[in-house]
Structure 1
Amino acid sequence: MGPVSGTQTSVVIVGGGPGGYEAALPAAHLGARVTVVEREGVGGAAVLTDCVPSKALIATADFMDRFSAAERIGVHFDDAPGDQGVTAHLPEVNERIMGLAGAQSQDIRGKLVAAGVEVVQGAGRIVRPGLVEVATGVGSVESGEEPAPSGAERAGQTRSLEADMILVATGARPRVLDTAVPDGERILTWQQIYDLTELPEHLIVIGSGVTGAELAHAYLGLGCRVTLVSSRDRVLPGEDQDAATVLEEVFRGRGMEVLNRSRAGGVVRDGDEVVVTLVDGREVRGSHALLAVGSIPNTQDLGLEESGVVLSESGHVVVDRVSRTSVPGIYAAGDCTGVLPLASVAAMQGRIAVAHALGDAVAPLNLGRVSSNIFTDPEIATVGVSQADVDSGKVDARSVMLPLTGNPRAKMQNTKHGFVKIFARKGSDTILGGVVVAPRASELIFPITLAVANRLNVDQFASTFTVYPSMSGSIAEAARQLHSTETD
């Protein structure tokens, strides 16, 4: 498809993460002249320091867990019966992880270049609507990309980019505490853990949200002693309560110490130890502390407020459902907007933005169809309405929760924990959402997401064939149990 107008539209994207690069590709396809400005490396933090590395770390821990579970399914190792002797060599683990991240970054860059997108390393700033100034050569390229060697791209130079459309997709960074300043050695953010050269003897994870829970799970699986400090009544306070309860039971059963209702007041170094002081006066000592206490949007020094773009009190860019800011021609996507901190949502926001700006067919962002996953063991995947929506009366729905303990495939795989939960609207029996707690829940949530997106009812869903034996059989069974009759 060619450009919308008679002249080629210019699109400048500040930020090369999922919200940026996923917008650049359709913009180029629509005939626009597209420039992506990225400070650190193509793929942004999601690829280089956050999502890709953390999930690779978790995959390593899960691989090790297979050995610890071997004897439970009758598998023994001839050389060392009863003691597999499996250990994680962290430098090698981290080298592989960062290599994967760099390779993914290069793959994305290759796709952009092949589509005709220009990639500029540097820091972008909006001078005014329609003009972005780039300080080229700024930042460190962690993906292995070489900075442009000469001319306007030389470090210390500036470049002005005229733009019919500007998309801000600058992401977010780890939040830190004034009383817990990271030193990159023993007090760490989640972006610094890949510099560790040895496994922590005792890792204290501060924060029990998604990031804290995932990394606590990963290091427990790698063989560390782990203490999880949670300021709330349970881990994952924003997630399905039944799912969070299962995960907390699994954590404790595997030896993790979980401190609920325990807010951290500060963290200090004490020689080769760290001391975490809780607000109630208790102290927790360990070898390392990991801060997982939220994130801060990267919206400073971008010229946003000077250009008239409205920011929220938290510093996020305020956008509507087609990613428009308060200034015509300036859009925003991803974690810098605070809509929902998921790479998939950032990518959708970016695609919606360019479709809207370039006059292509577009549907506003619908968060009710967003599926998400927490990569613990078991994984927790959700889509659509929540149990809290139903319990509060916000949604008039029935639900069925089916434990996986009766699933034949779960028995074969020695799966002891997990369930499937489906929500259906009363009367029409339309599927409104679901929760899956299971190994590979990130894959199992997809059929429920399809049902929610296409407004299928429980009978349509349940009448679709599933493989026997399979985990997906429990999803269909849950839908069958939601079948309503005239006497219901």
Structure 2
Amino acid sequence: MNSGQHVVIVGGGPGGYESALVAAQLGARVTVVDTDGIGGSAVLTDCVPSKTLIATAELMTEVSSAAELGVNLHDHEGDAATGIKVDLGRVNARVLKLAADQSVDIGRRLEKEGVRVVRGRGRLLGADRVHVALADGGEETLEADAVLLATGAAPRTLPSARPDGERILTWEQVYDIAEVPESLVVVGSGVTGAEFASAYLALGIDVTLVSSRDRVLPGEDADASAVLEEVSTRRGMKVLSTSRMASVTREGDTVTVTLTDGRTVQGSHCILALGSVPNTADLGLEEAGVAVDEGGFVVVDRVSRTSARGVYAAGDCTGVLMLASVAAMQGRIAMWHFLGDAVAPLDLKKVSSNVFTAPEIATVGWSQQAVEAGDIQCETVMLPLAGNARAKMQGVHDGFVKLFCRPGTGIVVGGVVVGPRASELIHPVSIAVAESLTADQLAQAFTVYPSMSGSIAEAARRMHRVSG
């Protein structure tokens, strides 16, 4: 219905390729300018690789509790196995192959839908033109009815902590490690730092986590982060709270992390998880009238519009909420808006997210922090997983389900799940939040017995108030 409209998308990550598919579906002519590979960092260096690595770590976590379930692991001589070792070279080879294969699959889908992919680096020449420095050395200028910027972000580094790609690493460089590190220092206790620290701990590596805050995952539910920290330290992780990194240096095979109070921590390797910076430099934003904030992130509204008419932005370059799912939704919303389809503005209170640690932490909607700050009035119920029959069968001792409901109506407005596969268990809570279901409605849906999801229904039942 919009045949002839030309949409140019700068960036091939989730915000880019998902918006391209929507635009093509709605009849637009679509060109994607891709610099680093279709799928972007989410597929090639971040989400897909890290979660593939974590899949191996999850298996190791399950194996570590095998004896509790009555499974004895023996080596070839018949003696009890003293250790199950990971071939990190093979793990990383699988990680990189899976990421590359996923990128190829997405590229094929774009080709099937008639999307043109141009390899090169794009730059705005105003709000309706994109100059492309082609990967093969040429150049091309694309006229556009609309432009979507989806250039992503890159790992933040500091002058005092420069990665060398060998022993001082960003999270994008860890997949080149062929041998298991003797010891690992992770600097940063946000989502990325916590995930890598948890994963490498499960792989049998001595891990020290340096946190500048008073707890791990300071942006997550406090009860959830307390469970994760207790489990991690029980399994052998060293957590240095309220410890700010001053510098990271390397001498031979030893990496030294110096803290601002003068203490030092040494390891064979160090992962820097210091946050992200947007890839917005030299994009021609100022000339095109596209505003950025003090951090360099592109400013967008809830339908992904920038300050320049006809220019949209999606994903990590906007700094809205750095999740692949949010990037994809921002991109879809942009195309629905520009091409005249039905569109609802982005609602971050309906976004579910997950921290892929052991145990996982999944959240959706309003948080405990918001409730305690008085931003919303809620009734709260928290149900430990330890009483769940399926959890007992699987040897799960840690974790909980927490629900937030509006007083009076009982409408579910948020939730937290901590436990194995919390990323899957949060879905019924996400549906409840998205559709404004009540706790009673959530409770009355059948769950399988025994199942972990039964704890979600049980928590909802505990919210019931007798009417009348």
Q: Establish whether TM, by shorter chain, passes 0.5.
A: yes
Q: Structure 2 residue aligned with 1:409, among 382, 390, 402?
A: 390
Separation in 2, partners of 1:427, 1:318? 38
In the alignment, structure 1 residue 376 sits paired with structure 2 residue 357: yes
Query: Which position in structure 1 is the counterpart of 2:302?
Result: 321
Distance 2:104 2:148 in 1: 22
Instruction: Evaluate the alpha carbon distance shift between residue 400 and residue 43 of structure 1 in structure 2; reply closer, same or farther with a 3 A threshold.
Output: same
In structure 1, the residue matched to 2:241 is 260
Q: Distance in 2 between matches of 1:197 and 1:449?
A: 39
Asked whether the equivalents of residues 207 and 229 of structure 1 are also in contact (C-alpha less than 8 Å), the reply is yes
Q: Which residue of 2 aligns with 1:136?
A: 134
- Partners of 1:464 and 1:475 in 2: CA distance: 10
Contact 1:71–1:82 (CA<8 Å) still a contact in 2?
no
Contact 1:77 1:84 in 2 (8 A): no
The answer to whether structure 1 residue 419 and structure 2 residue 400 are counterparts is: yes
- Residue 123 of structure 1 is matched in structure 2 by 121
Counterpart residue type for residue 236 of structure 1: L
The partner residue of 1:169 within 112, 130, 150 is 150
**Residues 286-335 of structure 1, C-alpha deviations (whole Å, 9 max, x = no match):** 11111001000000011011211000000000000000000000000000
1:82 to 37, 55, 80: 80
1:71 positional shift: 1.1
Question: Hey, what's the Cα distance between the residues in 1 that align with 2:130 and 2:74?
Answer: 64
1:329-340 equivalences under 5 Å are 329-340=310-321
Instruction: State how far apart, in whole Å, the 2-side matches of 1:248 and 1:305 are.
Output: 44
Question: Normalising by structure 2, what TM-score?
Answer: 0.98
- 1:147 corresponds in structure 2 to none
Correspondence for 2:22: 26
Instruction: Could you tell me which runs of 5 or more consecutive residues in structure 1 were left unpaired when the two chains were aligned.
Output: 138-154
1:94 to 79, 92, 95: 92
Letter aligned with residue 45 of structure 1: S
Offset from partner CA, 1:114-167 (integer Å, 9 cap, x none): 000001111000011110011111xxxxxxxxxxxxxxxxx1100111100000
Q: Which residue of 2 aligns with 1:291?
A: 272
1:91-126 Cα deviation digits (max 9, x unpaired): 111111000000000000010000000011110000
The answer on 1:181 being equivalent to 2:145 is: no
**What is the rounded CA distance, in whole Å, between the counterparts of 2:82 and 2:434 in structure 1?**
46
Give deviations 1:173-218, integer Å, cap 9, x for gaps: 0000110000001110000001112111110000000000000011
User: Residues 194 and 78 from structure 1, CA distance in 2 versus in 1: closer, same or farther, beyond 3 angstroms?
Assistant: closer
Among candidates 469, 472, 483, match of residue 450 of structure 2:
469
The one-letter code of the counterpart of 1:173 is A
Q: Percent of counterpart pairs with the same letter?
A: 63
How big is the shift at 1:84? 5.5
User: Aligned-pair distance for 1:78?
Assistant: 4.3
Deviation, structure 1 residue 68? 1.9
Structural mapping, 1:36-47, within 5 Å: 36-47=32-43
Amino acid of the structure 1 residue aligned with 2:212: S
Q: 1:481 aligns with which of 447, 462, 465?
A: 462
- Note the residue ranges of structure 2 that are not aligned, 5 or more in a row: none
Aligned partners of 2:227, 2:326: CA distance in 1, in Å? 27
Give the match for residue 215 of structure 1.
196
Alignment-mate amino acid for residue 110 of structure 1: R
2:374 aligned with 1:393: yes
Asked if 1:271 corresponds to 2:246, the answer is: no
**What SS is found at the alignment partner of 1:336?**
helix
Answer whether contact 2:74 2:81 (CA < 8 A) is retained: no
Q: How many pairs are equivalent?
A: 466
Report the AA paired with residue 90 of structure 1.
L
Alpha-carbon separation, structure 2, partners of 1:377 and 1:276: 25
Residues in 1 aligned to 2:277 and 2:458: alpha-carbon distance in whole angstroms: 42
TM (norm. structure 1) is 0.94
Following the alignment from structure 1 to structure 2, what is the Cα–Cα distance between the partners of residues 166 and 367?
A: 24
SS in 2 for 1:351: helix
What one-letter code is carried by the residue in structure 1 that aligns with 2:371? V
Question: Hey, what's the Cα distance between the residues in 2 that align with 1:405 and 1:32?
Answer: 53
Shift of 1:485: 2.8
Matched, 1:17 2:13: yes
CA contact (8 A) 1:170 1:336 kept: yes
Cα contact 1:407–1:474 (8 A) shared by 2: yes
Task: Work out the CA distance in 1 between the residues paired with 2:242 and 2:7.
Answer: 48
**Displacement, 1:83?**
1.6
Name the amino acid aligned to 1:128.
G
In the alignment, residue 231 of structure 1 is paired with which amino acid? S
SS at match of 1:395: coil
Residue 426 of structure 2 aligns to a residue whose secondary structure is helix
Partners of 2:69 and 2:327 lie apart in 1 by 41
Counterpart of 2:432 in structure 1 is 451
